[in-house]
Copies of this chain bind each other. A is one copy, B any other.
Amino acid sequence: MKSITIKQAWDGGEKCLHCSIRNLALFSDLQQDDFNLLHQPINEYMIPVGDELYTEKDKAHFVFTIRSGMIKLVHYLENGNYRIVRLLRPGDLAGIEALNGSRYLHHAIALQNTDVCRIPVEVIEQLNSNTPHLYKQLTASWQKVQSDADVWLVELTVGNSRQRVANLLLYLDDFSEEGSFYLPTREDIGALLGITTETASRIIAEFKRLGFLQVERQMAKIDKSKF
């Protein structure tokens, strides 16, 4: 197991203030002064492909913001199979259930090398009781979790396998600006859509044959007009 690397140590919020994804994330409304309230470090880490950010039923002490890469939230079934419950991309929050004092609800595993900022729960509680600037973003974050879950349910569980794979590809394509995106393994595609690995593979192969999809290494481009 590769070890999680600290990428950037805490500098007292200076970096948070100028963070490039700040407007996507939790702290976008905070003012200069608010950062002086932070008494615990917010460190930045790199999670290598395949590593766990956290494990289901761990005591949840931290919320994470995703800065780059992709995280899958996984739930293991009794029969050894697994279901991917959601994908998290830059700007999303992981482990938001920590705010509730509960344990983590999923396994969070990096699909790509992923940079995250690790925020202690106490920091959020501290901020929330001392400035009015966090509440709105917090509500917005929860709401995003809800609407993501709904979109997921509606787009990825409706229609036959071919339609679901097509919807997944469009969803993944939305993630990335550069026109190409990380294509999960066929097993993960199966776990995302509730179909078998073989069915996922057949459909992806078919899309490639038809020229709807080009894959190189694990990166994919789609021809949106074909879907």
Q: Which B residues lie within 8 Å of A149 (CB)?
A: 145-146, 149-150, 153
Inter-chain CA distance A96–B145, complex, in Å, is: 12
Residues of B close to A38: CB separation below 8 A: none
Residue A20, interface by CB 8 Å: no
Copy tally for this chain in the complex stands at 2
Describe A's contact surface by its main secondary structure.
Answer: helix
**Among candidates B83, B96, B128, B132, residue contacting A146 with C-beta atoms closer than 8 Å:** B96
Name A128's closest neighbour in chain B (CB-CB): B135
Q: Quick one: which of A99, A129, A153, A157 has the most chain B CB within 10 A?
A: A153
- Residues of A92-128 at the interface with B, using a CB-CB cut-off of 8 Å, are 96-97, 99-100, 102, 105-106, 128
Complex contact B158–A83 (CB within 8 A): yes
A182 to nearest B CB, angstroms? 22
A100 touches B140 (CB 8 A): yes
Query: Is A143 an interface position by the 8 A CB rule?
Result: yes
Q: Tell me how many residues of A have a C-beta within 8 Å of chain B.
A: 31
Listed in ascending order, the chain A residues whose CB lies under 8 Å from chain B are: 75, 77, 83, 85, 96-97, 99-100, 102, 105-106, 128-129, 132, 135, 138-140, 142-143, 145-147, 149-150, 152-154, 157-158, 194
* 18 new A-B contacts at CB < 8 Å, known A85-B150, A157-B194: A75-B154, A77-B154, A83-B154, A83-B158, A97-B143, A97-B147, A99-B139, A99-B143, A100-B139, A102-B143, A106-B150, A146-B149, A149-B149, A149-B150, A149-B153, A153-B153, A157-B157, A158-B194
**Which B residues lie within 8 Å of A152 (CB)?**
153
